[in-house]
Amino acid sequence: MSGGRFDYTSIIIRFLFSLFFVLAAYNPSGVSYFHWMLRAGELPLKILVGLVLLGVYAILVISTWRLIGLFGISLVAAACASAGWLLWELGVVDLGSVSALFTSILVMIAVVFTAGISYSGVHTRLTGIHHIESK
């Protein structure tokens, strides 16, 4: 977002982007790329969509790893797990269901990706320091 301001809507947009691609690859509802691949036909289209998904995943994983690293990923995952535990304790989420538990894990992965691709913008807003990647 080089020309615009980075704010909470930027994080929400990044979260929705991450969540879409995480759930598009696989989700317990049965409507995902994984389930589509199990059905016969349309192989060239399936390969094309798979390559696009793979490319987006590569961007998300590499960006997240480079920007927040193992410590940041662990910290965000622990925060998500704690939030999930709290929601379970409050009776908001029933993690006894395998489907609900798996969906919670997929949302956690999307949150980790969101933290990774939002880190630079949040850090710049908090400190005024701009990140420039050099090779």
Q: Convert the chain into a string of H (helix), E (strand) and C (coil).
A: CCCCCCCHHHHHHHHHHHHHHHHHHCCCCCCCHHHHHHCCCCHHHHHHHHHHHHHHHHHHHHHHHHHHHHHHHHHHHHHHHHHHHHHHHCCCCCCCCHHHHHHHHHHHHHHHHHHHHHHHHHHHHHHCCCCCCCC
pLDDT in tens, the chain (135 residues): 445 678 889 899 999 999 999 999 999 999 999 999 999 888 999 999 999 999 999 999 999 999 999 999 999 999 999 999 999 999 998 888 888 889 999 999 999 999 999 988 887 777 877 777 666
Residue 94, judged by CB atoms within 10 A of its CB (0-12, 13-18, 19+), counts as exposed
CA atoms of 56 and 14, how far apart (whole Å): 13
Backbone phi and psi for residue 105, each to the nearest 5 degrees, phi listed first: -65, -40
Supply the pLDDT for residue 94: 86
Specify the pTM: 0.87
Task: Report pLDDT for 1.
Answer: 40
The confidence score (pLDDT) of residue 90 equals 95
